[in-house]
Amino acid sequence: MRRMLPLAAPEASAGAPDAGWWRGRGQSVLQHAVAVFALCLAIAVLLTVLERGRGFGVKLVYSTCIGLACWALIDGPRLALAWWRQHRGRPVPRHGLAAKAELALLAALAAFVGPMAGLALGDALTGVRSPVAWDFGAPATQLTFTLAVIGTLAATAAGVLLERAASARAEAEAARRLASETQLKLLRSQLEPHMLFNTLANLRVLIGVDAAQAQAMLDRLIGFLRTTLAASQAQEHTLAREFAWIGDYLALMAVRMGPRLAVQLELPDALADRPVPPLLLQPLVENAIHHGLEPQAAPGRVEVRARREGDRLVLTVRDTGRGLPARPARDGGGFGLAQVRERLRALHGERASLVLQAAPDAEGGALATITLPA
Sole window of 87-95, 97-105, 111-119, 189-197 interacting with other proteins (rule: CB under 8 A):
189-197
DSSP per-residue letters across 131-156? TTTT-TTSHHHHHHHHHHHHHHHHHH
CA distance 140 to 163: 34
Residues 306-325 that bind other proteins (CB under 8 A): 325
Identity of the residue, 219 or 342, whose beta carbon is nearer to other proteins in the bound complex: 219
Cβ nearer to other proteins, comparing 213 with 264: 213
Does 212 help bind other proteins (rule: CB under 8 A)?
A: no
Q: Which of 124, 158, 200, 358 binds other proteins (CB under 8 A)?
A: 200
Report the side by side order of strands in the sheet with 261-266. Answer: 261-266, 300-309, 312-319, 366-373, 353-358
Q: Name the one range near other proteins by CB under 8 A: 5-13, 30-38, 250-258, 358-366.
A: 250-258
Q: How far is the CB of 360 from other proteins (least distance, A)?
A: 20
Q: Which of 194, 269, 309, 332 binds other proteins (CB under 8 A)?
A: 194
Using CB under 8 A, pick the residue from 193, 332, 333, 349 that binds other proteins.
193
Site string (278-307) toward other proteins, x via CB under 8 A: ----------------xxxx----------
CB of 300 to other proteins, least distance (A): 11
Number of shown-chain residues binding other proteins (CB under 8 A):
26
**Radius of gyration, CA atoms only, the chain:** 35
The contacts of residue 333 (CB under 8 Å, 6+ apart) are 189
Q: Which of 255, 306, 317, 344 binds other proteins (CB under 8 A)?
A: 255
CB 285 within 8 A of CB 333: no
The three-point CA angle 132-136-138 to 5° equals 55
In whole angstroms, the minimum distance from the beta carbon of 210 to other proteins comes to 10
Contact 42, 72 (CB under 8 A): no
258 is a site residue for other proteins (CB under 8 A): yes
Please state the closest distance from residue 191 (CB atom) to other proteins, in A: 11
Name the amino acid, one letter, at 10.
P
189 binding other proteins? (CB under 8 A) = no
Cβ pair 73, 133 in contact under 8 A: no
The widest CA-to-CA distance across the chain, in whole angstroms, is: 107
Listed as own residue / partner, the contacts of 150-157 with beta carbons closer than 8 Å and 24 or more positions apart are 151/39, 151/40, 151/43, 151/67, 151/70, 152/70, 152/71, 152/74, 152/107, 152/110, 152/111, 152/114, 153/107, 153/111, 154/39, 155/32, 155/35, 155/36, 155/39, 155/70, 155/71, 156/74, 156/103, 156/107
CB 121 within 8 A of CB 69: yes
Minimum CB distance to other proteins smaller for 81 or for 356:
356
Minimum Å distance from CB 361 to other proteins? 20
* Min separation Cβ 227 and other proteins, Å: 22
Kindly state the smallest distance separating residue 316's Cβ from other proteins, in Å: 25
Contact with other proteins (CB under 8 A) among 87, 90, 169, 204: 204
Is residue 109 a contact point for other proteins (CB under 8 A)? Answer: no
Contact 237, 215 (CB under 8 A): no
* 165 or 201: CB nearest other proteins: 201
List residues binding other proteins (CB under 8 A).
Answer: 193-194, 196-198, 200-202, 204-206, 208-209, 255-260, 294-297, 325-326, 328
